[in-house]
Amino acid sequence: MKTLRRLILLALALTLTVVVFGAFVRLSDAGLGCPDWPGCYGHATPAHAADKIIAAESAQPGGPVSLPKAWKEMIHRYLAASLGLLIIAIAVLSWRHRREPGAAPGVALALVGVVIFQGLLGKWTVTLLLKPAIVTGHLLGGMTTLALLGWLALRVCRVASRGAPTGLVTAARIGLVLLVAQIALGGWTSTNYAALACQDFPTCHGAWMPAGDFANAFHVVRELGMDADGALLSGEALTAIHWTHRLGALVLTAYLAALAALLARHERLRGQSVLLAAALILQVSLGIANVLLSLPLPLAVAHNGGAALLLLCLVRINHGLARERAARRLERNRNANAYA
Supply the residues annotated as catalytic: 73
160 vs 171: CA distance, rounded Å: 17
SS3 40: strand
Report the C-alpha gap between 20 and 13 in whole angstroms. Answer: 11
Give the CA radius of gyration of the chain. 22
196: helix, strand or coil: coil
Please list, in sequence order, all residues whose beta carbon lies within 8 angstroms of the beta carbon of residue 187, skipping any fewer than 6 positions away. Answer: 135, 136, 139, 140
**Spatial distance between the Cα atoms of 238 and 194, rounded to a whole number of angstroms:** 5
Long-range contacts of 255-263 (CB under 8 A, 24+ apart): 255/174, 255/175, 255/178, 256/175, 256/178, 256/179, 256/280, 256/310, 259/171, 259/172, 259/175, 259/317, 262/168, 262/171, 263/168, 263/317
Alpha helices in the chain (DSSP H): 2-27, 50-59, 67-96, 105-127, 132-156, 168-191, 214-217, 235-264, 270-292, 297-339
**How far apart, in whole angstroms, are the C-alpha atoms of residue 280 and residue 265?**
18
Dihedral sign (CA 328, 331, 337, 340):
negative
What burial letters (b/e) apply to 200-226, b meaning 16+ CB within 10 Å? eeeebeeeeebebbeebbebeebebee
